[in-house]
Each structure stands twice: as structure tokens, then as C-alpha cells.
Structure 1
Amino acid sequence: MDRNIHETLNKLIELAPIIQTLFDEEVMISISDREEVIFTLLSKELGMPDSTGYKLTSSDPVFQVMKTNKRLSSYIPKELYGTAARTIISPIVDENRQVIGSISIVFSVEKHDRFVRVAEQLAASSEEISASTTEMSTSSHELTGYMNNLLDAYSEMTNQMNQTEKMLELINSIAQSSRILGLNAGIEAARSGEHGRGFSIVAKEITKLADRSAESVDQIRQLLNSIKEKVDNVAQTVSQTVEISKHQSTAIEEISQSIQHLSDVAETIEELSKKI
């Protein structure tokens, strides 16, 4: 190179390989003076070309950094060089605080971008799972409510069946009384002889009616007992279902709380990943 390079820039060129080792990932380093790129340390991972000797123009970010004496950080999309990267350009000043050049460090952000995508997917998945568990919890509470309504209906049905049993006892009592009344009427008809023949027919019909009433009461009672047995079985099943539903509801709420915590963590990770 024909022209002189400032001593500070030469020192940076010597230190560039050491600076490169300070990063966990491979980086590309380029150093420029006020006019052109005077040194490039390439990276195997980054597919960027050697820009040594490139003449700076007023539209170049490096030129703007030296003009404003302010550090610049920018994103390089994957479409340009095949790898998403970030570049940091910093002005270099001499002992008089005059800008004499710049140093650019370019490093891949592919892993960072993957991390951001994973964080976003984790946050989205957590939100979906949280919504699903909330819906499950709501359904579980509704199921418990339906089961409790069934238990209330069972209790009401049991009360009605008990009332029906009392009515059957009353009918049976009336049938017994009617039977006794028919028997007494038959005795009186027999005593009356020929004159009590018509009364005897009525007494027999009363006795038949009493017997049929008693038989009907027995049949109804058997039917009610059968219904009650089935209702008891249903009630027992409903009661067990209510207990299971309560346990499930509690478990779902605990899962929902855990997932909500996971969702909060995922959102925090997503926010932090975007700031890195």
C-alpha cells in the first residue's frame, strides 16, 4: 500500500486475530481509514467477500459512522450473503479525538434467529395449551354442575316416590276397609235371606273391587321398588362421576396454573430474545 496508515490502525490490524477469538462464534473483521477498507479478516462461517481496497462512498454505513463519530449496529438479511448476520461499526479516533477510521465486526445471528423463532413458537404453543386447559376447566365445572343437578333431581324423585308410597298405603288401607265392609255386608245379606239377595251382589262387587285394588297396589309397589333400585344405581354412578369430575377439575386448574407460568416464562424468553 503506497500511502501511510495511522499507527493506531496498524495496531488494530495486528490485534484483529486476537479480537476474533474473543467471540463464541466466528466473526468477520474489517478496518478502514477515512478513504477505503485497508484490512479484512474473513470468517469461514460467513460467506462475505474480502472488501480490502474498497473505496468508501458517502452512502456507505462506514462513512456515516466516521462522519457522525457514532457507533452503528445493523441487521444483514439472509438473502444478501446466505446467512443472517449483524454488523457493528465503531469509529476509531486518535490521541486528539479525531476520527481516523473505523472497525466493523460482522457475526452470524442464525442461532439467535432460531432461538427467537423457537421462543415465539413456545409462546404461541403455551397460549394455545392455556386456552385449551381453560376450556377444559370450564367444561369440567359445567359437567360438575350438570351432575349436581342430576343429584338434585334424584333427591326430588325420591321424595315423590316416598309420597307415592304413602298414597299406596292409604289406598291399600281403603281396600282393606272395603274388603271388611264387603264381608260384613255379605253376612248381613245372608241373614236377610231372600230380601238380601240384591244387597249380597253389591257386597260381592265391593269385595272384588277391594281385592283388585289391593293387587294393583302390590303391582305398583313392585314397579316403584324396581324404579327406585334403578334410580339408586344411577344416583350412585352420578355421585361417583361428580367426585371424579371434582378431582379432574382440581387437576386441570393445577395444570392450567403451571401452563400459565410456562406461558409467562415463554413470553419473557421471547421478549429477551428480541433484545439480544
Structure 2
Amino acid sequence: MIESKDEYSTSEGKVGLSLMNDRLQSIINTAPLIQKLVPLDCMIGISDREKFLHYLPGRAISIGRDIRGERLSSDDGLYHAVHSGKEHIVKLPREVFGFPFRSVAVPIHDEKGYVIGAIALGVSLQTQESLLSIAQMIVTSSQEISAATKELAQSAEELSLQQELLSRLSNEVLEQVKKTDQILKFINDVAMKSNLLGLNASIEASRAGEQGKGFAVVAEEIRKMAVNSAQSVKEIREILNIIKERVTIMNSKITQTTDIGHQQVAATEEIHASVQEFADSAQKIEDVAKIV
């Protein structure tokens, strides 16, 4: 029930006004204690049905003037609490008074239930703004890190696949080198047999005397070709041995880097998971900051 000022002008009016003043004065006296009990910076305003009776500024949150005695405006939370008889909550942005705050105004009733005034608590939202800013920054940063680690994990996976491909190719090269050894062995055998054949042909040509001179020239050329072939085979084998040695070393290194690549993939996946958990925590911080 919402009473009018006239209800305190009856034959019992003086007693009613006295009770009203006592109750409001008691709340005014309690205001400093209420302010200390609130963990955040806050200010307190107390009014009767028409005007401000008391104002207690906070440490940093303050209207900047003494408003005691000023009439309530329809914009004030106290005004709404007095005339509606209900709690009135509003958030005021920084642009209004230079600082953001949340105002909660509740009506004050006498022992008969009549509204005789109201008390408003303005709590600074500076902490909330700071928490929201930090939380949003953390969320943004963690999302960027998460995206980067995800890309890194994909790159590491691709690198690991490429290294496995190189390992297979190096193994194939080693197999081809082994096949080349067999071919060189065959050529070397042919060269040895050709050299032996040329030697026998030279012997037979010398026995033939004058008639065998032309054949002796051919036999000598065959021997030279066999010797040159054998020498070439030796040189090629030496080159192939060097290639084989280098490919073996390269294959060993590729195997090592492949193992490292697998470890890197696992590590980046773990980092990505941790960053995702961090992002989820930051989101929770942001949600909590909206409540504070």
C-alpha cells in the first residue's frame, strides 16, 4: 500500500511523523556500517517520500555534491521505489556521472506497512568493466593462440607426412642402388671375360704369324675396352657407395625428424587442448564479471 503525505496529518499525525523520523534516522545511522559491509566501492542515498535525507559517497564513486534536502526527481531510483513500493534496479553508464554504477533502491516501510521513504545503494561497476575488459582480452588472445596452435598442429602433421614420404623415397633409392650393384657386377664379369678373351685372341694371333696381325689388333682393342670397362665399373661403384652412404645417413636423419615431427604433433595438440581450456576459463571469467 502506498500512502500519501496527508496520512501523517491525522489526529495521530505527530506520533506517525515521529515514528517515521525515528525509523529513517535509524537507517541513516546504519548507513556507514552497510557501506563497510559491501566489498565493492559504493554510495548510499536515503530519502523520505519527497527529498533526500542523507547521502554517503563512496571512495571513488560520488555524485560530487551534497544532495541532502534536494527533492526527488522522477529519474531517481528512490523516487520509483517510494511511489511503486517495489525494488527498483537500474544500471547507469559512465556517461551519466562519469563512472558506471548499479543502483538498487528499496522502499522503507513503517510498522503498519506504509512507505515512508527509500534507501538506494549505488555499487561501482568499475571492477566489472575492468574484469570484462580483461576477460574479453583473454578470450580474444586465447582464440588467436588456439587458432595458431591448431594451424601449427596441422603444419606439423603435414611435415610429418612429408618426412614419411621422404623416408620411403630414400629406402627406394637404397633398393635401386643395390640393384645397380648387381648390374655393375654383371658388367664387371663381362669385362673380365672380354679381357681374358682378348688375351687368348692375342696369343692365337701371334701363333698365326703374319696372317694373324689384323686379328691381333682387334684382340688388343677388345682388351683395352675390357680394362676401361672394368675401371669405369670401379669408379661407378665408388660413386654409388658414396651415394649409398649419404642416402643411409639421410634416411637416418629423416627417421629422427619424423619422430620429432610426431612428438611435435602430439605436443601442439596438447597445447591446443590447454589453450582451449584456457579460453573456456576466460569465458567463465567474463560471465562472472557480468554478475559482479
State the TM-score, normalizing by the size of structure 1: 0.90
Instruction: State the 1:251 CA deviation.
Output: 2.2
Distance (whole Å) between structure 2 residues aligned to residue 178 and residue 218 of structure 1: 16
Match for residue 48 of structure 2? Answer: 33
Distance (whole Å) between structure 2 residues aligned to residue 16 and residue 180 of structure 1: 122
Instruction: State the 1:213 CA deviation.
Output: 0.8
Match for residue 64 of structure 1? Answer: 80
Match for residue 84 of structure 1? Answer: 100
Match for residue 261 of structure 2? Answer: 245
Gaps of 5+ in 2: 1-13
CA contact (8 A) 2:174 2:248 kept: no
Distance (whole Å) between structure 1 residues aligned to residue 150 and residue 61 of structure 2: 46
Amino acid at match of 1:231: V
Amino acid at match of 1:247: Q
CA contact (8 A) 2:77 2:120 kept: no
Bigger drift between 242-251 and 120-129 goes to 242-251
1:75 to 2:97 alignment: no
Match for residue 24 of structure 1? Answer: 39
Amino acid at match of 1:23: V
Bigger drift between 207-216 and 60-69 goes to 60-69
Amino acid at match of 2:55: T
Give the match's secondary structure for 1:198: helix
Q: Against the structure 1 CA distance between its residues 156 and 33, is the aligned structure 2 distance closer, same or farther, given a 3 Å change threshold? A: same
Question: Deviation digits for residues 137-190 of structure 1, max 9, x if unmatched?
Answer: 122112211211111110011111111111111111111111122122222222
Distance (whole Å) between structure 2 residues aligned to residue 236 and residue 261 of structure 1: 38
Match for residue 143 of structure 2? Answer: 127
Give the match's secondary structure for 1:83: coil
Match for residue 143 of structure 1? Answer: 159
Q: Against the structure 1 CA distance between its residues 182 and 120, is the aligned structure 2 distance closer, same or farther, given a 3 Å change threshold? A: same
CA contact (8 A) 1:76 1:85 kept: yes
CA contact (8 A) 2:43 2:62 kept: no
Question: Deviation digits for residues 91-115 of structure 1, max 9, x if unmatched?
Answer: 2233443333211111222222212
Instruction: State the 1:59 CA deviation.
Output: 4.2
Match for residue 128 of structure 2? Answer: 112
Bigger drift between 237-246 and 56-65 goes to 56-65
CA contact (8 A) 2:44 2:55 kept: yes
Give the match's secondary structure for 2:74: coil
Q: Which runs of 4+ in 1 moved over 4 A?
A: none
RMSD (CA atoms): 2.1
Match for residue 158 of structure 1? Answer: 174
CA contact (8 A) 2:77 2:90 kept: no
Match for residue 119 of structure 2? Answer: 103
Give the match's secondary structure for 1:46: coil
CA contact (8 A) 1:28 1:107 kept: yes
1:212 to 2:234 alignment: no
Match for residue 246 of structure 2? Answer: 230
Distance (whole Å) between structure 1 residues aligned to residue 228 and residue 88 of structure 2: 106
CA contact (8 A) 1:91 1:103 kept: yes
1:199 to 2:205 alignment: no
Distance (whole Å) between structure 2 residues aligned to residue 59 and residue 271 of structure 1: 29
Bigger drift between 239-248 and 219-228 goes to 239-248
State the TM-score, normalizing by the size of structure 2: 0.86
Question: Deviation digits for residues 74-132 of structure 1, max 9, x if unmatched?
Answer: 22333443333221111223344333321111122222221221122122221122122
Q: Against the structure 1 CA distance between its residues 169 and 101, is the aligned structure 2 distance closer, same or farther, given a 3 Å change threshold? A: same
Gaps of 5+ in 1: none
Instruction: State the 1:26 CA deviation.
Output: 4.1
Amino acid at match of 1:51: I
1:261 to 2:277 alignment: yes
Question: Deviation digits for residues 44-98 of structure 1, max 9, x if unmatched?
Answer: 4323122222222434433233333332222233344333322111122334433
Distance (whole Å) between structure 1 residues aligned to residue 76 and residue 124 of structure 2: 21
Count of aligned pairs between the two proteins: 274
